[in-house]
Structure 1
Amino acid sequence: EYRGYDSAGVTLADDQGLRTFKAKGRLSELRNIVENRELHQHTGIGHTRWATHGVPNNLNAHPHTNSANTISLVHNGIIENYVSLKQMLENNGYVFQSETDSEAVVHLIDYYYRRFQDMETAFKRAVRDLEGSYGLCVISTYAPDTVFVARKESPMILGISDEGTYCASDAPALLEYTRKLMTLNDGDIAVLKPEHIALFDAKGNEKKEEWMEFPYDLQSAQKGGYDTFMEKEIHEQPQTIRETMRGRIEGKSIVLPELDPILGRILRADHVLWIACGTAYHACVYGQMVLNRLVPINSTAIPASEFRYGNYYVDKNTLCIFVSQSGETADTLAAIKRAKSSGAATIAVANVLGSSLTRIADATVYTCAGLEIAVASTKAYTAQLTLIYLLAQKLAEIMGYSTREHDEIITYLNELDRLTQETISIAKPVIREYASMLKNEHDVYFIGRQLDYVSAMEGALKLKEISYIHADAYYAGELKHGPIALIQDQTVVIAFATQPEVASKTISNIKETVARGAKIILITDQNTPAEGFTYVIRIPEIRPDLACIISAVIFQFLAYYAASERGCDIDKPRNLAKSVTVE
């Protein structure tokens, strides 16, 4: 449920056949339909859906069934050739009830069942005809006590326990039942029986199961006394930063043995690309800026959705770093495949063990953010920033570039968790008051220079995601080149000025907006003069290149309280999914 959705449904199988229930809106609507019915199910599938093909309603909600109500299917992804499949099926007498691409798949399975009279054969044959991305679960009266599962570019996790077998698109959904999990590879097909699972590769060869013990338990997926998961996860950041650095600083050294297999390729690199989507892309911009300060090698951040289709030069001397909390982001997976096909060395920065991105990359460094349930990322973001900072420092060392500030860097890294906690203590009491001024705003502008622009981008995204207030981020120095035309009396501008070498310039830009009537919330360091500004938050003393890590908790709380004031669904904002597994 935590991923977000606009409709939901289940199909339950018992001795009487398949019974399907659907509802638009929250799971409580579906629960009201299902509860108090006399059900004796022993097999079932369910789905929560964000609309990609067809509007959110009961017809378009999953599961989809064939006309005889003998086959039921749920599907994540997008079937790119569904128009041609639908035309073929309609030519063979099939009638469609919904507007979705997924319904074509259930009819296609029915088509092949009529031909082969065997459900497993029909499922495998239908999957061969599909183009696009899919995570499929299918049950049928033709194969009682069986769930058929297939995966291509859309995550599928299997689980097993003494009580049964399970599948889901994300591990937390299974933690109530088991921690013994396995991730399907692209092209894999699984046949689940109550006591065992048969696994096949894309060529139909049976595979050995590779189970792992998931490192988190159900307690990790609870709110722990907080009103929302997002609030809990903001408060967990000192701990997750500490866990992400654990074992990676020994004395005065940064230790990343995960890079050892590709040391030669790192040494050969003549340019570095940082590639990701959304919040992880903002972390990549941070990585680009930090690395550019350390080495005279071009370092560039590119959105994965642009990289996979753009004309970016990549060869054997390119080092590509891919960042994804889930490790299942569709555009990022497509991007890493393109980079590898061009000969680039690839590093994954991910949070989920064994995820698709980590299995493709040449080397993986893991953040240790734990389960992040809220759709809007908080602790995963600061864990990414922390690990990317360590990674940039280590890459510079491997490439032969040292810094005279090394001892100071280690000192502040060792203090980073404490300074993050101190920032929470400083900011939380005043942020609720500051956030109240945003309740009725339609537009808010975030500005900053250099590394502060990373905070501006992520701060604007957080506010948009959970409060639905339009927010834009700009380099402070670019205001006069157009955006200042938007500033009028009482416009809210949230400014970051934590970089001493440009702080005075940023303050000058802020004053230009004040002259036009803007209300300012200023996040700055301990030394930048801030006379004349009413709303000021000063972060603890820290190295400027680490400032945006501890600044993050400020704009996260700002977005959180603004959304709370507006009555928004903070953990499940509209139209958003936790893991974006389609283009």
Structure 2
Amino acid sequence: MCGIVGILGSEGVADKLVDALKRLEYRGYDSAGVATIVDGKILRRRAEGKLRNLELALEREPLAGAIGIGHTRWATHGAPTERNAHPHATDQVAVVHNGIIENFLDLRELVKSGGAELETDTDTEVVAHLITQALQAGKTPRDAVADTLHRLKGAFSFAIIFKGEEDLMIGARRGSPLAVGHGDGAMYLGSDAIALAPFTDRVTYLEDGDWVVLTRTSFEIFDESNLPVTRPEHTSAATAVQVDKGNYRHFMQKEIYEQPEVIGHTLSRYLNLNKLCTTLPKGTSVDFAALDRLVISACGTAFYAGLIGKYWFEKYARIPVDIDIASEFRYREMPVKAGDLALFISQSGETADTLASLRYCKQQGMRIGAVVNVPESTIAREADVVFPTVAGAEIGVASTKAFTCQLSVLASLAIHAGRARGVLSAEREAELVRMLGEVPAYAVKALKVEKDLEKLSQPLSKSNHALYLGRGTNFPLAMEGALKLKEISYIHAEGYAAGELKHGPIALIDESMPVIVVAPHDEIFEKTVSNVQEVAARGGRVILITDARGAAEAGINAWKTIVMPDVPEIAAPIIHAIPVQLLAYHTAVFMGTDVDQPRNLAKSVTVE
């Protein structure tokens, strides 16, 4: 997801724009730029690649101006070049844009017929020309923007400045998030409150379809019908301290090591370890006993968390669960029942497909629950009930601590639902709560396998493909492990249910194929081992992730056995997520890839 920052200040803003954009680097980007107004004229500096390149451009050619907009771009339409970098501008207007304009080809022809000469391959440039042509027709800036917004199809957020207007900025959102920051004699726009934190903690979040007109001392918000509306002001919890890596080589490594702490913080919201029972966060209420079924939807890593949650809800609460990837769910018109609960999982709370699926379920009369890490996000605001994770800011694009915190919430909710539905006795609830309460301590022990996994990274990095296997809750974890390896090392990997091995994947097995097996000693351990023996018999290089008992009883000539602490079944997916994260991390480090910002990926996907 791209990043937007806008500043209406009292002194030069170019350096402040770049500093704010640095706080959004975790989203992923491939070019960056800023635009300011100097003596009434729009001036720009843009650069391909990282923000350091933009800083160098500004050192060579500084920009003055007390009003400006900045952007980090993740390429959608057009290659990641300086020419396609934002802001896009005419002599009348400059625009930065997150999202995708779906009808931009038709709009290109429209503005070209009006005399526009297009210089880039982007959809955003069309917006600048539409506004410009409206201005040339005699419209005011606010009317020109209002007219343009109604021509656009797709998801977007904008920050816009105008030639000759040194006390005016307009922002708009449809789908992609945008917030207004309130200062003293200054106003701000940002796609994330984190970007605005050095300037202000007073934030107003635009609702979907809103647009806003800013001066240094005022703001007016309009809805998609151009009617003035009032939105509440919040005190943002985003920290004004720049997030750093501390003593770790990468944010991802730091975030892997933060898991014992953040899992503990998250579980403390849902478990009463004194009374050994589950509890829901204050203001949160769900009648699980009244549910006929549960619907879960999410994308990427959050979807795999949901799949593990499905196992838990069905086992511990006997609630039938329907789950689908949000990008599929939103279009297949799944039949749902009004009054049942739909649960949506998202680290950012802004994932476009997940949000669209949420809105579909809401229209059908379902109650909406959200498992999110950002309580101020759109998904959180539109949900009926929010189940927060307490992972803190996750900077690495490949999710680690957000995933295990999502699992911690889902496990807690499944136990709570089981007790509410009479499936679990008070004694069994107490036993499970005690087990979950020990997860942070187990996580500390799990991190001690890092050196063993680091040694595996060099030979694993020479592979072109890898296979991950698991059964039960370890099947979604196998898919998550494969995703992690793909995301940051660029090695092709697939996750399979171990029982499916004979139905196709076994054809891939040879002496060059690493096969990572997640198999703690549980009730289906023997079944998994029998599948793994078939791999070993065909020369596959087995990396077995198990516990001490599993290592002793497997009877497999494994390439490497990673011995994890013995943990209860309900805790196993949370704890065994750690070695698959570390294996991917060290393989990527050895290969020299950009671990925290892997190519082509964004932290928060706010377009389809």
Above 0.5 in TM-score? yes
Shift of 1:70: 2.1
Q: Report the number of matched residues.
A: 578
In the alignment, structure 1 residue 153 sits paired with structure 2 residue 175: yes
Distance 1:436 1:88 in 2: 55
Distance 1:433 1:162 in 2: 54
Match of 1:343 in 2: 365
Deviations 1:21-74 (A, max 9, x none): 2222222222222214243221111212122112222222211112xx220001
Distance 1:98 1:106 in 2: 12
**How does 1:66-145 map onto structure 2 within 5 Å?**
66=90, 69-145=91-167
**How does 1:120-269 map onto structure 2 within 5 Å?**
120-162=142-184, 164-219=186-241, 221-250=243-272, 251-257=275-281, 261-263=285-287, 266-269=288-291
Match of 2:36 in 1: 12
Shift of 1:209: 4.5
In the alignment, structure 1 residue 60 sits paired with structure 2 residue 60: no
Q: Secondary structure at the match of 2:133?
A: helix
Match of 1:321 in 2: 343
| 1:288 counterpart (310, 329, 337) | 310
| 2:436 counterpart (413, 424, 436) | 413
Give the letter aligned to residue 150 of structure 2.
Answer: R
Give the letter aligned to residue 474 of structure 1.
Answer: Y
Distance 1:359 1:150 in 2: 18
Deviations 1:195-226 (A, max 9, x none): 33322222333333422222241436221222
Give the letter aligned to residue 12 of structure 1.
Answer: T
Give the letter aligned to residue 216 of structure 2.
Answer: P
| 2:604 counterpart (567, 574, 579) | 579
| 1:46 counterpart (70, 83, 86) | 70
| 1:21 counterpart (33, 45, 63) | 45
Q: Secondary structure at the match of 2:480?
A: helix
Shift of 1:359: 1.5
Distance 1:37 1:220 in 2: 26
Deviations 1:173-195 (A, max 9, x none): 22232332232110111122223
Q: Secondary structure at the match of 1:219?
A: coil
Partners of 1:466 and 1:569 within 8 A in 2 = yes
Distance 1:77 1:94 in 2: 22
**How does 1:405-554 map onto structure 2 within 5 Å?**
405-425=428-448, 427-528=449-550, 529-531=553-555, 532-554=557-579
Deviates more, 1:370-379 or 1:29-38: 29-38
Q: Secondary structure at the match of 2:414?
A: helix
Give the letter aligned to residue 300 of structure 1.
Answer: D
Partners of 1:451 and 1:499 within 8 A in 2 = no
Partners of 1:262 and 1:362 within 8 A in 2 = no
Shift of 1:382: 0.4
Deviates more, 1:572-581 or 1:493-502: 493-502
Partners of 1:159 and 1:174 within 8 A in 2 = yes
For normalisation by structure 1, the TM-score amounts to 0.96
Match of 1:2 in 2: 26
Distance 2:253 2:171 in 1: 35
Partners of 2:536 and 2:558 within 8 A in 1 = no
C-alpha root-mean-square deviation of aligned residues, in Å?
A: 1.7
Check 1:341–1:258 CA distance in 2 against 1; reply closer, same or farther (3 A cut): farther
Deviates more, 1:324-333 or 1:38-47: 38-47
Unaligned runs of 5+ in 2: 1-24
| 2:386 counterpart (357, 364, 370) | 364
Check 1:313–1:220 CA distance in 2 against 1; reply closer, same or farther (3 A cut): farther
Check 1:71–1:216 CA distance in 2 against 1; reply closer, same or farther (3 A cut): closer
Partners of 2:517 and 2:542 within 8 A in 1 = yes
Q: Secondary structure at the match of 2:137?
A: helix
For normalisation by structure 2, the TM-score amounts to 0.92
In the alignment, structure 1 residue 567 sits paired with structure 2 residue 567: no
Q: Secondary structure at the match of 1:2?
A: helix
Partners of 1:375 and 1:571 within 8 A in 2 = yes
Partners of 1:494 and 1:522 within 8 A in 2 = yes
Partners of 2:317 and 2:414 within 8 A in 1 = no
Shift of 1:150: 0.1
Match of 1:31 in 2: 55
Q: Secondary structure at the match of 2:147?
A: helix
Distance 1:36 1:370 in 2: 37
Distance 2:100 2:575 in 1: 38
Q: Secondary structure at the match of 1:501?
A: coil
Q: Secondary structure at the match of 2:440?
A: helix
| 2:581 counterpart (552, 556, 566) | 556
Partners of 1:495 and 1:522 within 8 A in 2 = yes
Partners of 2:548 and 2:565 within 8 A in 1 = yes
Partners of 2:394 and 2:401 within 8 A in 1 = yes
Check 1:187–1:320 CA distance in 2 against 1; reply closer, same or farther (3 A cut): same
Check 1:309–1:330 CA distance in 2 against 1; reply closer, same or farther (3 A cut): same
Give the letter aligned to residue 280 of structure 2.
Answer: L
Distance 2:462 2:204 in 1: 47
Shift of 1:499: 4.9
Partners of 2:466 and 2:513 within 8 A in 1 = yes
Q: Secondary structure at the match of 2:518?
A: strand
Distance 1:16 1:196 in 2: 21
Instruction: State the 4+ residue runs in structure 1 displaced beyond 3 angstroms.
Output: 257-262
Partners of 2:170 and 2:212 within 8 A in 1 = yes
Distance 1:317 1:80 in 2: 34
Partners of 1:119 and 1:142 within 8 A in 2 = no
Distance 2:598 2:514 in 1: 23
Partners of 1:451 and 1:545 within 8 A in 2 = no
Partners of 1:368 and 1:383 within 8 A in 2 = yes
Shift of 1:166: 1.7
In the alignment, structure 1 residue 309 sits paired with structure 2 residue 331: yes
Shift of 1:516: 1.4
Deviations 1:364-417 (A, max 9, x none): 110001111111101100000000111111222233322453222111121111
Partners of 2:172 and 2:211 within 8 A in 1 = yes
Q: Secondary structure at the match of 2:216?
A: coil
Partners of 2:371 and 2:386 within 8 A in 1 = yes
Distance 2:447 2:602 in 1: 27
Shift of 1:526: 2.9
Partners of 1:42 and 1:145 within 8 A in 2 = no
Deviations 1:274-315 (A, max 9, x none): 100000000000111111112333212210001001142212
Distance 2:577 2:87 in 1: 40
Check 1:483–1:139 CA distance in 2 against 1; reply closer, same or farther (3 A cut): same
Q: Secondary structure at the match of 2:249?
A: coil
Give the letter aligned to residue 289 of structure 2.
Answer: L
